[in-house]
C-alpha cells in the first residue's frame, strides 16, 4: 500500500518526492516480512536513483542503503548476504560512508554461522569499521560474541562481554549490555558444560533484572533450564544433585510468582539427562530418583494435556531408561518393560515431535549389552524393533 501511494504521488504534477517518502516505503517493506520484501526494497532504491536525476532530494544516502541491506539480511533468502555485501561496496564506491547500522546488519548475519569463512568475515568487518573510526556498539559486541562462541572461542566471547560491560560501567550508555548478550553468554557456557560459569551468568542476569539493574526483563524458563543443561553436560559427580536442585528452584520461584520459570519438558529432560549421563555416584536409588522426576512430569502433562511443552519426548524416556540400566535397582527390568509398553502405544505426533531416535535407542542398547540385567537380550530386541517401527 505504501508503494502504491508513493507511486501515485510521484506521477502527480504538484508533488516533489524526497528521501523521507522513500524511507517510509523502505521501512514498510522491512517490517512487512513479505517474501518479496527484499526485491521490492531494492526496486525502491533503484527508483530513487532514477528520480535523483530530476530531484536531487531523492538521491540515496546511507539510511536508504541501510534499509535495503537490513531487509536483505533478515530475509534469509539464498544469496541475500551476498547482495548486502554488494550494496556495501556500492555505497563505498559512491562515496556514501557506511555507519554502525550498515556493519551491524551484515555482521549479525555472519555471526549466526559456524563457518570459518563467515567467522573471518565478521572479524574483517569489525576491523574495517574500526578503521573508519566507528566504535563498537552493543549490537556489535553481541554479534562478535556470537561469532566467537559458535566457533569455539568462549574465552574471547567472555573478554568481549567484559569489555562491553566495562565501558558501560564507566558511563558509556551506548554499550549497555543487552539481555540477548547475557543470554548468549549463559547458553554458550551451558553448551560446553561449564556449569560454574553458567550459574554465574544466570546470577548476573537475576541481579541486573531487579529494580536497580539495567536489564529490561527477568530470566524465564529457558534461562534457568540452561543452567540445568550445563550440569547435565558437565560430567561432574555432583551433576545429578545440582540439576535436581535447579529444578526445585524453578518450581519454587515460579510458584512464588517472582519469575516466569515454570519447568517444561526440556527442564525435566535436562535433569533426566544428568541422571542418564552420570556414571559417578550412581546408587541403588538413582534409577528410582530419575523415575520419580519422570512421573512428576507425566502428572503435570496429564493435568494440562493441551500443553505440548509438558509432553515427554523420546529423549525424556531414554534418559530414564539409561539411569535405570546403570543403577543397581533390582526392579529395573520390570520398569524398563513398562516404559517400552508406553512407547509402543505412542501416536505419530509423539514420534514426529521426538525427531530421529536412532542415537538414543543405540545408547540404550549399548548400555543394556554392558549391563547385568537378566532379560537384557529380550529388552534389546524390543528396543531395536521399536526403532524399526518408527522409521
Nearest-CA neighbor of 158 among 144, 169, 168?
A: 144
| Whole-angstrom distance, CA of residue 201 vs CA of residue 185 | 7
pLDDT at 8: 55
Q: What cell was used for 50?
A: 532514477
Q: DSSP states of 8-72 as a string?
A: HHHTSTT----HHHHHHHHHHHHHH--TTHHHHHHHHHHHHHHHHTT-GGGS--HHHHHHHHHHH
The per-residue pLDDT for range 159-179, each reduced to its tens digit, is 999 999 999 999 999 999 999
Q: Phi/psi class of residue 184: alpha, beta or left (left: φ > 0; alpha: ψ in -120 to 50)?
A: alpha
Is-contact 2 25, C-beta < 8 A?
Answer: yes
Q: What cell was used for 46?
A: 533503484
- In Å, how far are 1, 10, 129, 229, 301 from 61, measured between CA atoms? 24, 19, 18, 47, 55
pLDDT at 14: 60
CA–CA–CA angle 253, 257, 263 (5° rounding): 50
Using the CB atoms, write b or e for 250-269: b if 16+ within 10 Å: beebbeeeebebbbbbbbbb
The per-residue pLDDT for range 39-87, each reduced to its tens digit, is 999 999 999 999 998 888 899 999 999 999 999 998 988 889 999 999 9
Q: HSE (CB half, 13 Å, CA atoms) of 174?
A: 6
DSSP 135: P
Q: What are the residue ranges in the chain where pLDDT is below 50?
A: 1, 4
pLDDT at 50: 92
- In Å, how far are 29, 77, 78, 319, 330 from 74, measured between CA atoms? 11, 8, 11, 38, 56
Cα-Cα end-to-end distance for the chain? 48
- In Å, how far are 37, 83, 107 from 89, measured between CA atoms? 21, 10, 15
Nearest-CA neighbor of 343 among 379, 322, 317?
A: 317
Is-contact 19 58, C-beta < 8 A?
Answer: yes
Count of Cβ atoms closer than 10 Å to residue 72 Cβ: 28
- In Å, how far are 181, 220, 238, 271 from 229, measured between CA atoms? 19, 15, 13, 7
- In Å, how far are 29, 88, 103, 347 from 134, measured between CA atoms? 28, 16, 10, 56
pLDDT at 36: 93
pLDDT at 4: 46
pLDDT at 192: 97
Burial class from Cβ neighbours inside 10 Å (0-12, 13-18, 19+) for residue 79 reads: exposed
CB neighbours of 74 closer than 8 A, spacing ≥ 6? 30
pTM over 0.85: yes
Q: Compute, in degrees rounded to 10, the torsion defined by CA atoms 368, 373, 375, 380.
A: -10
Amino acid at each position: 500500500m505504501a508503494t502504491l501511494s508513493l507511486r501515485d504521488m510521484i506521477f502527480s504534477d504538484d508533488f516533489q518526492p524526497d528521501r523521507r517518502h522513500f524511507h517510509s516505503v523502505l521501512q514498510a517493506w522491512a517490517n512487512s516480512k513479505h517474501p518479496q520484501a527484499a526485491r521490492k526494497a531494492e526496486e525502491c532504491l533503484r527508483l530513487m536513483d532514477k528520480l535523483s536525476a530530476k530531484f536531487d532530494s531523492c538521491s540515496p544516502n546511507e539510511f536508504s542503503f541501510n534499509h535495503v541491506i537490513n531487509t536483505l539480511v533478515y530475509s534469509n533468502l539464498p544469496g541475500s548476504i551476498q547482495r548486502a555485501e554488494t550494496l556495501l561496496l556500492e555505497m563505498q564506491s559512491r562515496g556514501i560512508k557506511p555507519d554502525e547500522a550498515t556493519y551491524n546488519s551484515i555482521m549479525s548475519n555472519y555471526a549466526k554461522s559456524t563457518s570459518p569463512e563467515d567467522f573471518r568475515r565478521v572479524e574483517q568487518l569489525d576491523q574495517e569499521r574500526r578503521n573508519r573510526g566507528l566504535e563498537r556498539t552493543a549490537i556489535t559486541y553481541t554479534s562478535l560474541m556470537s561469532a566467537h562462541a559458535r566457533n569455539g572461542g568462549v574465552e574471547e566471547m567472555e573478554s568481549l562481554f567484559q569489555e562491553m560491560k566495562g565501558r558501560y560501567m564507566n558511563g558509556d550508555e551506548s554499550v549497555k549490555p543487552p539481555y540477548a548478550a547475557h543470554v548468549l553468554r549463559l547458553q554458550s557456557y551451558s553448551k560446553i558444560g561449564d556449569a560454574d560459569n553458567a550459574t554465574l551468568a544466570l546470577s548476573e542476569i537475576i541481579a541486573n533484572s531487579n529494580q536497580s539493574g539495567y536489564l529490561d526483563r527477568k530470566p524465564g524458563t529457558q534461562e534457568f533450564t540452561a543452567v540445568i543443561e550445563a550440569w547435565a553436560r558437565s560430567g561432574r559427580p555432583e551433576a545429578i544433585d545440582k540439576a535436581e536442585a535447579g529444578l526445585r528452584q524453578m518450581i519454587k520461584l515460579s510458584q512464588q510468582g517472582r519469575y516466569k520459570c515454570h519447568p517444561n519438558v526440556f527442564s525435566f529432560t535436562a535433569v533426566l539427562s544428568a541422571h542418564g549421563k552420570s556414571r559417578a555416584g550412581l546408587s541403588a536409588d538413582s534409577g528410582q530418583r530419575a523415575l520419580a522426576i519422570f512421573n512428576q512430569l507425566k502428572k503435570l502433562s496429564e493435568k494440562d494435556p493441551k500443553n505440548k511443552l509438558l509432553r515427554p519426548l523420546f529423549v525424556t524416556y531414554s534418559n530414564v531408561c539409561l539411569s535405570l540400566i546403570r543403577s543397581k535397582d533390582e526392579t529395573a527390568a520390570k520398569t524398563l518393560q513398562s516404559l517400552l509398553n508406553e512407547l509402543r502405544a505412542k501416536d505419530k505426533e509423539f514420534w514426529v515431535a521426538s525427531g530421529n531416535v536412532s542415537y538414543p535407542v543405540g545408547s540404550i542398547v549399548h548400555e543394556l549389552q554392558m549391563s547385568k540385567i537378566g532379560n537384557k537380550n529380550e529388552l534389546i530386541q524390543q528396543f531395536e524393533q521399536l526403532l524399526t517401527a518408527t522409521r
